[in-house]
Amino acid sequence: MLVPQIVAMPRGDRGVVIDGALTDWPELPAIRLDDRRQLSGTAFKAWNGPRDASAITFVMWDEEHLYFAAAVRDEWHRPLDAGSLQLSEIPLADSIVLTFDPDRNTRSLGPDKGRREDREFWLAEEAGREVVQWDRLRGTARVLDAPAARSVVLHDKEQGLTTYEARIPWSEILPTGRKPRARLVLDLQIVVNDFDEPTDTVPQTRIGLTFGCSPVVDPGFFASVMLVSDRQALQGRVPAFPPKPPTEGPPLGPAEQWHDLTARLLAQGPAIHDGTKAPEQAGGLKRFGVLEELDAHVGRYPRVDFLEYTHRIQRRMAREVAGIRARGLPFWWETRLRALSKAAEDPVPEGTARLFRLPMGGWLVATPQGGFAIDAAGPDLANWIWGRTAFCLLTQPLDITRRNDQLLVRMLTGKVKRPVLSHVAFHLPVIKMRDMPLVQPGKEVATIDDMRIIALGEKIAEDSVIASCGYRIEIKNGPRMLVVAPGTRPTEIGDEPVDVLILSPRNPQVPAIIAQAKPGLVVLDDAFLCESLPGFARANLNTMHKIQKALQPVPSLLLAPGESWDIQRRQ
C-alpha cells in the first residue's frame, strides 16, 4: 500500500460537541483502516472479516484543538471494566491509540531518541470520558485535564458499530512553544486494538494505518498529516509533503554493534562464583564490562514496549514481531536464540544436564534423552527449541512475559501431545480453560523421559493456590534440580539432596531455602530481563552480585542470554 499522506481540514465556525455522535461533523476526507493488509493478528480465526474489525477515521483542527473521530466495525465490543483504569498497565479494552511525532524523526520502538517529543493518546469506552496520554519511552501515563480534553466512545450492539470522538489540546500534542498553523506537517500513527475474548489480557487483532505499507510492520514507520487552511487550498489535489528529516545512522545501533557485543561475550565465558574473589570478577573483569554493557541495554528498554512486544509474540502477530526484532535489543535476542538452538543440537554426556539461558527469559534443559523448558519466553520457540522440549514447566503462568503461548498451543494440540505443567489455568488460543490440565502443588506430577517431576507447595484454601509454583526434577542417572519460584517456602522443598537450584531473586526466604536445600550450585534466575511488573524494579546486575555475595559459601552462577552450563550429579 502507498504511504498515507493525510490532510486535516479546519473546523471553521462549525460547532462540534464531543458526545459520540458525529452528525455535527462536516464532510471530511476519510482515513481508511479497512484493508486486510493493514491487519495484524489473524491466527486461529481471530479475524472473521470487515465486520469483525475495520475502521473509518477522520481528523480536523482549530487553533486550540485537534479533533479525531472513528467509526469501528466490531461484532463484539469490550469496554473498560468499571474502576479498572490503571495508568501503570495497558488497559484491557477495545481501544484506539493515536501517536503523534511532531519532529517526524521516530524510527523505532525502544530507546530511540526520536521518540522524546512524541505524544501517544489512548481512547476507549470508559465512564470518565477521559483521554489518557501514554509516555511509553519513559514509562508514565496520565489523564488529560478536562474539559479541554474529552473523549466519548459509544457502542451500538445491534449495528456492531463503535463510534469514537475526541478533542485533544494542541498543547498536549506539540512541544512547548509550537503552535498549530496551516501547512504544519506531523507524523501520525492510528492503531485499533480489538479484543474478542473476555478472558484474554491482550488484543487478538490490531489494525494500523501504516501496517499495509511493507511486508513487515515497522513500528517506527508513521504516516504524515498536514494541516490545511481551507478546502480551496487543496485545489482538488493533495499538496506536496516535505520529506522526513534524516537521522544519524540506525536508531538503536547497527547490526555490527550487536554482533560485536556477542563476540565479546563469547570471548569471556561464564564462571562459578565460589567466594574466593568478588562475583564481579567471576569470569574476569572483561566479562564484567560486557555484562555491565548488556545490563544497561536491557535496563533502558521501555517496560511498556517490552510488554507490547510480548503481546505481539503471544498472539502470533508475526509481521509486527518481525518489525520490532529488526533492530536493537530484540534483534540481539533473536541472534542469541538462533545460536542457542544450534548449540542445543549437540549431544549431552550421560549423567549430565546442560542448562541454557533463553534470551528473553526462562531456561532450556538439554539431557542425553531430550530435554524440557522452564518458563520459556520469546518468539518462535516452537521452531527453535522444539527438539529439546518434551515438556514445559511454568512457575508463574499468569505472568505473560514468562511463557510462550505459541509453543504451549503446539504442545497441547499436536498429534502427540506434550505436557504443559501449570498449577493455574490461563487463556490460550483455541484451548478452553476448563480443559487445561493442572498439576497439584505438593504432589508428584509424572515421570517423563526418565525424569521424575514434583510440584512444590500446597493449596492455601479450597480450590485456591498461590500465583507461583516451584518444581523438583530428578533426572535418572543425572542431576537433581530444584526450581524455586517467588512463592516457594523452605518447608515445601524437603530434605533430599539438590545438585542445582534455579533461584528467583524475588523470593523473600532465600537464606532459609538455601539452608534447607544445601544445593551444590545456585543459578540465578531473572538476570538480564526487562522490567515487566509495575511496582517491581528489575533485578539488575548489581542486585545479582549482591545476592551472590549473600549466598557464600554456596557456589553460584550467573548466565547471560544464550549461555549454557553443564550440571552433573554429586556423589
Cβ-Cβ contacts under 8 Å for 73 (sequence gap 6 or more): 34, 50, 51, 52, 53, 54, 55, 160, 161
Check residue 442 and give left, alpha or beta (phi > 0: left; psi -120 to 50: alpha): left
Q: DSSP for 424-474?
A: S---BTTB-GGG-----TTSEEEEETTEEEEE----SBTTB--S---EEEE
Structure confidence at residue 461 (pLDDT) = 66
Q: Per-residue confidence of the chain (571 residues) as pLDDT tens digits?
A: 999 999 999 999 999 999 999 999 999 999 999 999 999 998 888 898 999 999 999 999 999 999 999 999 998 999 988 666 677 788 889 999 999 999 999 999 999 999 999 999 999 998 889 999 989 888 889 999 999 999 999 999 999 999 999 999 999 999 999 999 999 999 999 999 999 988 999 999 999 999 999 999 999 999 999 999 987 767 777 789 999 999 888 999 999 999 999 999 999 999 999 999 999 999 999 999 999 999 999 999 999 999 999 999 999 999 999 999 999 999 999 999 999 999 999 999 999 999 999 999 999 999 999 999 999 999 999 999 999 999 999 999 999 999 999 999 999 999 999 999 999 999 999 899 988 999 999 999 999 999 999 999 876 666 667 899 999 999 999 999 999 999 999 999 999 999 999 999 999 999 999 999 999 999 999 999 999 988 889 999 999 999 999 999 999 999 999 999 999 998 7
At the topology level, CATH places domain 255-531+538-568 in Metallo-beta-lactamase; Chain A (3.60.15)
Structure confidence at residue 238 (pLDDT) = 78
Structure confidence at residue 74 (pLDDT) = 93
CATH architecture entry for 5-234: Sandwich (2.60)
Contact indicator for 152, 20 with CB cutoff of 8 Å: yes
Pull the grid cell for residue 415. 498429534
Domain boundaries, the chain: 5-234, 255-531+538-568
> Residue 550 CA to chain centroid, in angstroms?
32
Q: What is the pTM of this model?
A: 0.96
Structure confidence at residue 460 (pLDDT) = 63
Locus of grid cell 531473586: 505
Structure confidence at residue 128 (pLDDT) = 85
Q: CA 452 to CA 472: how far, in whole Å?
A: 8
> How many residues belong to the chain?
571
Pull the grid cell for residue 348. 549431552
Q: CA 293 to CA 295: how far, in whole Å?
A: 5
Report the SS3 class of residue 122: strand
Pull the grid cell for residue 513. 531455602
Structure confidence at residue 504 (pLDDT) = 96
Q: CA 215 to CA 207: how far, in whole Å?
A: 15
Cβ-Cβ contacts under 8 Å for 357 (sequence gap 6 or more): 363, 527, 559, 560, 561, 562, 563, 564
Q: DSSP for 514-553?
A: HHHH--SEEEE-STT----STT-----HHHHHHHHHHHTT
Q: CA 267 to CA 291: how far, in whole Å?
A: 12
